Amino acid sequence: MKKIFTLIILLLTTHIWSESPINPEDLPPWLKPELLVHLVSMDMNENQNNEFREGLLECLNGLQRVVQREIRKGGVNIPKRIKRGINRQYGEFDQRMKATLKDSQHEPWEKYLEELKEVMSERAMQRED
């Protein structure tokens, strides 16, 4: 049943993509072409891919929660507290993936994570403008 559902989603996605060209600016920040290069070079197996998806989802949700929580709390040093919380989220994601990946996959993973941080930071700056 799960395979059938996945196949249907894949076919629908392929159909939609075939009708409209994919524009890199339309992709979410974690799927930018410069980041996908590192994901592909990791050559993850199915379990690693699942762990990556779950970890990425937790990380992105965590980033959003950190910002919302710190703004809601108010007080002093909000940017500093947000930065610490964001670093903590990335650190947890990093630890989770390094526990799953083989040693040979660590280098591309580190490149992906560093570029992800940059892309997400740039995106946050754009939203502030």
The candidate with the shortest Cα–Cα distance to 71, out of 63, 60, 82, 61, is 82
Task: Provide the whole-model pTM.
Answer: 0.76
Number of Cβ within 10 Å of residue 60's Cβ equals 17
Please report which confidence band the pLDDT of residue 22 belongs to, taking 50, 70 and 90 as the band edges.
low
pLDDT, tens only, 48-86: 999 999 999 999 999 999 999 998 998 889 999 999 999
User: pLDDT-based confidence at 102, cuts 50/70/90?
Assistant: very high
- Please report how the helices 78-100 and 46-73 are oriented relative to each other, as an axis angle in degrees rounded to 10: 170
Measure the CA–CA gap between 71 and 73, rounded to whole angstroms: 5
As a whole number of angstroms, the distance between CA 35 and CA 22 comes to 16
Q: What is the average pLDDT score of the chain? A: 83
Amino acid 30: pLDDT = 77
